[in-house]
Structure 1
Amino acid sequence: MAVFAVTTATGRNWEPTRGIREQQGWDQHAKFADGLVDRGVIMFGGPIGSADDEEVALLAVESADEKELRSVFAEDPWVLNGVLRIKEVRPWTVWLDGR
């Protein structure tokens, strides 16, 4: 499996006046993300930047390839509803891992 650095960003339906946990469909998105953690897809991740930034989160993700990764994340309720989008996917060679 390869490791990728995935940056997510606000989608067309992101409500800028609401916090991340007040966005429409938060519970469904959180359940989806927790499932990816349980399956070992998401290694670690979380919000980055400030509330004014376009970027929402940075994730370390294990996947066979970028196509598979994008296919998995396409099922995220936030992605399906335009709240969130994948901004960037970059291959990542992890040299340091203290987990």
Structure 2
Amino acid sequence: MADYFLVRLARGAAWDHSRPRREQAGWVEHSAIMDSLVAKRVIVLGGPVGDGDGDDALLVVAVETEAEIRGHLAEDPWVEDLLTIKSV
């Protein structure tokens, strides 16, 4: 049975602060991967948090290990450049 983890993602070095979230490079690919993880019930709940467009994002993830989280997020073109894993 999976455990639940709370993952906090922060804006990375490549984030363009002059553009909203949905206008960042790779938005279509990022959102497709997030939607896929929701469909697979890996991401239970998630989205941006903070004022306006949200400085960070929080995800509630149902997996067995932290390594599994990192493996899923490694598929996302935003992770590391546009978003960094702040905490798990």
Which TM-score applies when normalising by structure 2?
A: 0.90
State, as a whole percentage, how many aligned pairs show the same letter. Answer: 45
SS in 2 for 1:76: coil
Equivalences for residues 46-65 of structure 1 within 5 A: 46-51=47-52, 54-55=55-56, 57-65=57-65
CA distance in structure 2 between the aligned counterparts of 1:34 and 1:73, rounded to whole angstroms: 12
Which AA in structure 2 matches 1:84?
A: L
Query: Is the CA contact 2:15–2:82 (under 8 Å) kept in the aligned structure 1?
Result: yes
Indicate how the Cα distance of structure 1 residues 30 and 53 shifts in structure 2: closer, same or farther if over 3 A, else same: closer
CA distance in structure 2 between the aligned counterparts of 1:11 and 1:51, rounded to whole angstroms: 18
CA distance in structure 2 between the aligned counterparts of 1:53 and 1:61, rounded to whole angstroms: 19
CA distance in structure 2 between the aligned counterparts of 1:39 and 1:71, rounded to whole angstroms: 14
CA distance in structure 1 between the aligned counterparts of 2:79 and 2:25, rounded to whole angstroms: 12
| Unmatched 5+ stretches in structure 2 | none
Which AA in structure 2 matches 1:44?
A: L
SS in 1 for 2:68: helix
| Unmatched 5+ stretches in structure 1 | 90-99
Matched with 2:6 is 5
Q: Provide, for residues 13-57 of structure 1, a one-character-per-residue CA deviation record: whole Å limited to 9, x for no partner.
A: 0001110101100000000000000000000111101258642x1
Matched with 2:67 is 67
Which AA in structure 1 matches 2:74?
A: A
State which structure, 1 or 2, has the greater radius of gyration over its C-alpha atoms: 1
Q: Provide, for residues 39-96 of structure 1, a one-character-per-residue CA deviation record: whole Å limited to 9, x for no partner.
A: 00000111101258642x111101111011111111111116x11111110xxxxxxx
Query: Is the CA contact 2:21–2:53 (under 8 Å) kept in the aligned structure 1?
Result: no
Structural RMSD (CA): 1.5
Runs of 4+ in 1 over 4 A off after TM superposition: 51-54
